Chain A
Amino acid sequence: GENVEQHPSTLSVQEGDSAVIKCTYSDSASNYFPWYKQELGKGPQLIIDIRSNVGEKKDQRIAVTLNKTAKHFSLHITETQPEDSAVYFCAGQSGGSYIPTFGRGTSLIVHP
């Protein structure tokens, strides 16, 4: 089955800096890669996703890049703000699978 590894487990940045979270996956059949943000006391919320026919996707200050050959994808957050502080999860899913495989999560702390 799919295995998704996520690094780092904790990331501390100053407000205004950029943050990058990286994930690798094992199943070459995986073709859908969502990213979730989980704030304290809440369920994970989808913030951006990418499919395997696209190399990069942007939405304002966040972007995701995908390298299918190397089987890794990354989340980029620019101009970080204190409200970006949360736990971020990556996931990988193949078209034949009904459930995604999640990474262990990255705790992002943005210092004002």
Chain B
Amino acid sequence: KAGVTQTPRYLIKTRGQQVTLSCSPISGHRSVSWYQQTPGQGLQFLFEYFSETQRNKGNFPGRFSGRQFSNSRSEMNVSTLELGDSALYLCASSLRGDGETQYFGPGTRLLVL
């Protein structure tokens, strides 16, 4: 089975712009989670989707949003980018997300200038 894929792998944006990141889960997986990883804060949970519904949301401002499509692919969007949004954004998928193993993608490295 192919693993979790994320596109793009690298992205450079300027403050005030918006960005959309994409994640394709492992085939058959219906739960997709997003994390922000920075050196100082570790892995911080953004949100989790299952069957096109957001089930859980972390403590991030409304500028961070996401969605999931019927084929379980997911996108996350960050509007009005700030310098502090520079981070590695990781997507993880699992079958149902209920106490199961999450499998991570390689991440999208976002740099905001």
Contacts and interface: CB of A to CB of B under 8 A. Distances in A.
Contacts of B33: 98-99
Chain B interface size, as a band, is 20 to 34
Interface residues of A, number: 24
Closest 5 CB pairs of A and B: A43-B104, A98-B97, A95-B99, A102-B43, A104-B42
B81 to A, nearest CB: 22
B42 A105 contact: yes
Contacts, number: 54
Interface of B: 4, 31, 33, 42-43, 45, 48, 50, 55-56, 90, 92, 97-107
Interface stretch (A15-23, A28-36, A54-62, A75-83): A28-36
A36 B104 contact: yes
Contacts of A89: 42-43
